[in-house]
Structure 1
Amino acid sequence: MPSFKIGHRAIGLDSPPFVIAEMSGNHNQSLERALAIVDAAAAAGAHALKLQTYTADTMTLDIDQGEFRISDPDSLWADTSLYALYEQAHTPWEWHGPIFERAKSHGMLGFSSPFDETAVDFLESLDVPAYKIASFENTDLPLIRKAASTGKPLIISTGMATVAELDESVRAARAAGCRELILLKCTSTYPASPLNTHLRTIAHMRELFGCEVGLSDHTMGVGAAVAAVALGASVVEKHFTLDRSAGGVDANFSLEPAELASLVTETERAWQALGHVQYGATTAEQKSLVYRRSLYVVRDVAAGEPLTRDNVRAIRPGLGLAPRHLDTVLGRAARRPLARGMALDWSMID
């Protein structure tokens, strides 16, 4: 499939992985902290800074009981109402412009996940370079169509979606005008377990849907992301914060600055290491060939004296005959006197 660009960044297997730092609610309702997160993400080498665009009222109802309350005792947000969580986590819409401008000042892209159609309209007014559909919205076909109709690259996280649901979402996006699509393998638990990440899906998804693929990663550390690149991920998204100990709705499973820097470095190294099918010495290895073993005279040999295991051995360096010739030369006579340390060649042997 042809590569394409999000802003100035090329996306595809022929380009380094596109690393997205997801701020989410880690600003803790402080614009100053949000801008500091942008600065830190840029310093770590991230290529894009992503927000989430919603309000509590566009997400849910202000009801603090029943299904509107998070009852799962294992959830990071247990015993909180959905409305209260989104009030705490949302990024005020008036902050988007300053945050995107700060990202731009660092040469970093800024875009967002819209959670309803009004968010798409708002983000269009800021001329974002792409849209991201979150996992919990990947079956919201009207929202997908709205974002796709902008004609901008569309990223869809695949958390929880069946193949049939993804097929429906991809078809809806393409029918609405999306020509540059990225699907991100995602496990919608927070944090996610490596055992529940199933990265082999990445290559299958690329083949099945004929689009770019990547990883939206909620595991701790950078190991899953590096492995994903080896399996064909061209995009990696990770939640990012300044300091997990400072708290915040997503801090528990977010990378800190040193970890994000490692992610950028190690995913690019993984991409570089993929290369192509290669046998034999590379150009860089040519100088190392001399340190192979080869046949050398290890004890002085008189003219006419037979070569034996006592006077010829395979040692380093590699300027003599290859070790595979040892059985051929043993027992044959030296044509002339041979000194210890001479690299053996055919001209020396009868």
Structure 2
Amino acid sequence: MSLRSDNTMKIGEREISNNTPPYIIAEMSGNHNGDINRALKLIDAAAEAGADAVKLQTYTADTLTLNSNKKDFCISEGLWQGKSLYQLYDWAHTPWQWHQALFDRANKLGIDIFSSPFDETAVDFLTQFDPPAYKIASFELIDHELVKKVAETKKPMIMSTGMANIQEIEEALAVALNYGNGQVTLLHCVSGYPTPIEQTNLATIKALAEKFDLPIGLSDHTLGNTTAIASVALGATVIEKHFTLARADGGPDAAFSLEPEELKALCKDVRDAWHAIGKPNFTLAQSEQPNLIFRRSLYISKDIKKGEVFSKDNVRCIRPGYGLAPKHLDVVLGLEATMDIEAATALTWDMVNRRTTNT
């Protein structure tokens, strides 16, 4: 089968393409810190900041791993060093009984809400909320059974590519397109927490777009907003960033998450960047019109009588820009004036006898 698909996607009524501002996803992840009221406040903050969507993660520790302290199951470095996988996921998961309240809050505020399911039971569970899309997390991209299960919902899919090589991306995408509705967006992602900015390789966005003819975005784990804003110039159609109410409050992902004012700035700056790119244009911009007077043009610098010859003694190339363009100076020199002209008058063609020739 072909891996190519239409290079637009819709989540609800929102088109995702290069013709629309980037779709901004605020990733809650585990930053609710086990408190449903904090989770609700995070949704409020995402809506207030101007994000298009808030995203959850739907799993339990038992659906992801085994409750074991053997070496294979223990984290030896990074943000979560010293925890077992079971401890990490038990700490970070969003309780399933919260989902109804979270979906209700987002729907009330008019912000999209959907989730990353981490196994097939999570997909079945999420179906009752009729989410507008599903997300395949980077770590799950190689789980073809999960990709198939999500695709079979016939909902739009967003798929992160962290850690995946090109073959793994092709394989997962083939499953998604074969079993789904063809609406897929790939997110370039580096699964480092946080990701050093020099390792983001944003040029991958263009490479993915050229290879797959799909909307391509960015799941960004760098600190700050520079990488996300820069990605827009390379064609990113979706931006996903983790967010929290306050990094000082701690939490599984707090160290690389945006605070509300930073998320608000991201939403503004990303959309400003998209508007700034625009389309190739070599005509006068509306904002330039008043500044035409600051260009140089040809002006009479001394009083001239009718029949007098124009010379560098009585014609100068100066500001403002109401006279003939400077490029016409060589044509005008040596020709005669058709009328009396006062100094400080913009030179126009009706003042020049073009039947005379330079001698």
> TM-score under structure 1 normalisation?
0.95
Partner residue of 1:319 out of 309, 319, 322: 322
Give the alignment partner of residue 64 of structure 1, picking from 58, 61, 69: 69
Q: How far apart are 1:316 and its partner, in Å?
A: 2.3
Q: Measure the CA separation in 2 of the matches of 1:183 and 1:150.
A: 18
1:216 to 216, 219, 226: 219
Per-residue CA distance 1:147-180 (angstroms, 9 max, x = gap): 0000000111000111111110001111112410
Q: Give the residue type in structure 2 aligned to 1:32.
A: N
Q: How far apart in 2 are the matches of 1:145 and 1:184?
A: 18
Amino acid at match of 2:81: A
Matched, 1:179 2:175: no
Per-residue deviation, 1:66: 0.3
- Size of the aligned set, in residue pairs, is 348
Asked if 1:306 corresponds to 2:309, the answer is yes
Give 1:211 shift: 1.4
C-alpha distance in 1 between matches for 2:142 and 2:287: 50
Structure 1 match to 2:12 = 7
More deviation, 322-331/132-141 = 322-331
Aligned to 1:253: 256
Matches within 5 A, 1:91-240: 91-240=94-243
Whole-angstrom CA distance in 1 between matches of 2:179 and 2:307:
87
Q: Partners in 1 of 2:223 and 2:172 — Cα distance?
A: 29
Partner of 1:38, secondary structure, is helix
Q: Which residue of 1 aligns with 2:38?
A: 33
Query: Per-residue CA shift, 1:24-69, capped at 9, x if unaligned?
Result: 0000101111111111110000010001011111111111230111
Partner residue, 2:29: 24
Separation (CA, whole Å) in 1 of partners of 2:109 and 2:165: 38
Contact 2:217 2:237 in 1 (8 A): yes
What is the TM-score with the length of structure 2 in the denominator? 0.93
User: Which letter maps to 2:22?
Assistant: P
The residue type paired with residue 117 of structure 2 is P
Does 1:48 pair with 2:39? no
Partner-residue secondary structure (3-state), 1:21: strand
Residue range with higher mean Cα deviation, 7-16 or 229-238: 7-16
1:280 to 2:283 alignment = yes
Cα displacement (A) at 1:302: 3.6
Q: Secondary structure at the match of 1:313?
A: strand
Quick one: distance in 1 between partners of 2:307 and 2:134? 82
Runs (4+) off by over 6 Å: none
SS of the residue corresponding to residue 270 of structure 1 reads helix
Distance apart, 1:131 and its partner CA: 0.7
CA drift of 1:221 comes to 1.4
Gaps of 5+ in 2: 1-5, 354-359
Deviation of 1:287 (Å): 4.5
* CA–CA distance in structure 2, aligned partners of residues 192 and 298 of structure 1: 63
| 1:277 Cα deviation from its structure 2 partner | 1.9
Q: Give the Cα separation in 2 of the matches to 1:299 and 1:150.
A: 81
